[in-house]
Amino acid sequence: MTTSPIGSIEEHFSNLVEPRVVGRSDHKLIDIVVIAICGVICGAEGWTDIEQFGQVKEDWLRQFLELPSGIPSHDTFGRVFGRLDAEEFQHCFASWVQAVFDITEGQVIAIDGKTARRSHDRVIGKDAIHMVNAWAAKNSIALGQVKTDDESNEITAIPRLLKLLEIKGCIVTIDAMGCQTEIAGQIIDQGGDYVLQVKDNQKNLRQDIEDWFAYARQVGFKDMSYDYARTVNKGHGRIEIRECWAIDDPLAFEYIRHYLGWKGLKTIAMVRRQRRIGNRVTEETAYYISSLDGDATLILTCSRQHWAVENSLHWVLDVTFREDASRIRVGAAPQNFAVLRRIALNLLKQENSIKRSVRAKRMRAALDDDYLLKVLTSV
């Protein structure tokens, strides 16, 4: 089946451990996985949708799947994905991404958390699942995800997610929750660079950086090694001005408490964002530490591209894939269905024969078997 449109999926997901009783299963596990992926590509939001997709497309699916007992029922899909080991499924996903997608060296890998808000079950006291995601900004690829117990546990989830990723030569951006010495050290050890936002979870660090920039501006950065960049964007009735000051002067670090604990630290940066809409002006200032040299243009670009994980991943998952509205709750099914969405999103993003939104591509794939085949073979 080397020429099969599901060749890469079969290669990386066929070794999943069977969660059912061996010898008492009517349907092959890889068939169930592939039908689910195709169904989600075409707009399926739950197990009943996937079953209906399979029934309508059975003749087409038989071109590359065995389907010894036909199309599984929605109950079968639900049971299998509820019992399928979520961590193993995630490892298969990460392996598939690394094997079939070319991750551009030097690009931003943004890491951020997201809660699937309707995945809770108050009857049994189960909270909504919270996942930490990694997004390759330039390639528009979901690289991986790790489930946490709640938002406060992102600190322990981020190192586990980083272990799944190949970040050598890339720049990892994380908001304040991930601004930890251990995480910075792990990124450096794995061959990457970091741009980490500093907030009140590192009070001494933030205060020292803030004070130093106040002093630097007061003296006009005289006799300091620093860089400055500014961008102006206009559109949709607003003007956005972004400025970045990056200091890589060794003298500055002497005044930052415990800076030696930050492996690879070379630069501190201040980014000011100003938005003008009519007569209304809003402004915010953020502080960063980075292992990059003091290139203000690059750090400003990284700070901006970090939000691609919100706009290109989280927003699309909520609005187009309706992840927040999903009521899939049993066992490991919420995490596993989240992986299905990200597989579908990656394939749809990489298919560029038509210039349409992800939503429009899903509709086209549902109606046109040839286009669905293009999506499956887009990598």
Same domain, 191 and 299: yes
The stretches of the chain forming alpha helices (DSSP H) are: 7-13, 29-41, 47-56, 58-61, 74-83, 86-100, 154-164, 181-189, 203-218, 250-253, 296-305, 308, 315-319, 333-350, 358-367, 369-376
What pLDDT shows up at residue 1? 36
Q: Is residue 72 part of a domain?
A: yes
The closest alpha carbon to 160, from 115, 113, 214, 210, belongs to 113
Same domain, 288 and 349: no
Same domain, 275 and 368: no
Instruction: Please give the model's pTM, rounded to 2 decimal places.
Output: 0.89
204-220 pLDDT tens trace: 889 999 999 999 999 99
What pLDDT shows up at residue 2? 41
Confidence of residue 120 (pLDDT cuts 50, 70, 90): very low
The closest alpha carbon to 161, from 227, 153, 291, 362, belongs to 153
Same domain, 293 and 363: no
| Domain-ending residue, one of 305, 334, 359 | 305
Q: Is residue 13 pLDDT above 50, yes or no? A: yes
Same domain, 185 and 93: no
55-100 pLDDT tens trace: 999 999 999 999 999 999 999 999 999 999 999 999 999 999 999 8
Among 35-44, 155-164, 256-265, which is the least confidently predicted range? 256-265
Q: Is residue 276 part of a domain?
A: yes
The sheet with strand 280-290 has its strands ordered as 141-148, 130-136, 108-115, 171-174, 193-198, 280-290, 267-277, 238-247, 226-235
> Which residue range(s) make up the domain with 289?
176-305
Same domain, 331 and 278: no
Task: Please compute the mean of the pLDDT values over residues 9-32 and round it to a whole number.
Answer: 91
Task: Please compute the mean of the pLDDT values over residues 153-175 and round it to a whole number.
Answer: 92
Q: Is residue 106 part of a domain?
A: no
Q: Over pLDDT 90: what percentage of the chain?
A: 70
Same domain, 273 and 180: yes
- The residue among 291 and 325 whose pLDDT is bigger is 291
Angle between helices 369-376 and 29-41 (to 10 degrees): 110
Q: Is residue 365 part of a domain?
A: yes
Same domain, 28 and 89: yes
What pLDDT shows up at residue 128? 62
**Cα dihedral across residues 36, 39, 41, 46: positive or negative:** negative
What pLDDT shows up at residue 196? 96
Same domain, 212 and 285: yes
Task: Yes or no: say if 229 and 303 are a contact pair by the CB < 8 Å rule.
Answer: no
**Cα dihedral across residues 182, 186, 189, 195: positive or negative:** negative
| Domain-ending residue, one of 275, 305, 335 | 305
Q: Is residue 146 pLDDT above 50, yes or no? A: yes
Same domain, 278 and 341: no
Among 152-166, 177-191, 220-234, 358-372, which is the least confidently predicted range? 152-166
226-266 pLDDT tens trace: 999 999 998 878 899 999 999 998 888 887 776 668 999 99
Q: Is residue 2 part of a domain?
A: no
- The residue among 359 and 3 whose pLDDT is bigger is 359
| Domain-ending residue, one of 249, 271, 305 | 305
Q: Is residue 22 pLDDT above 90, yes or no? A: no
What pLDDT shows up at residue 203? 78
Same domain, 207 and 93: no
Number of folded domains in the chain?
A: 2
Q: Is residue 150 part of a domain?
A: no
Same domain, 180 and 271: yes
Q: Is residue 137 part of a domain?
A: no
Q: Over pLDDT 70: what percentage of the chain?
A: 93
Q: Is residue 249 part of a domain?
A: yes
Task: Please compute the mean of the pLDDT values over residues 290-314 and round it to a whole number.
Answer: 93
Task: Please compute the mean of the pLDDT values over residues 40-57 and round it to a whole number.
Answer: 97
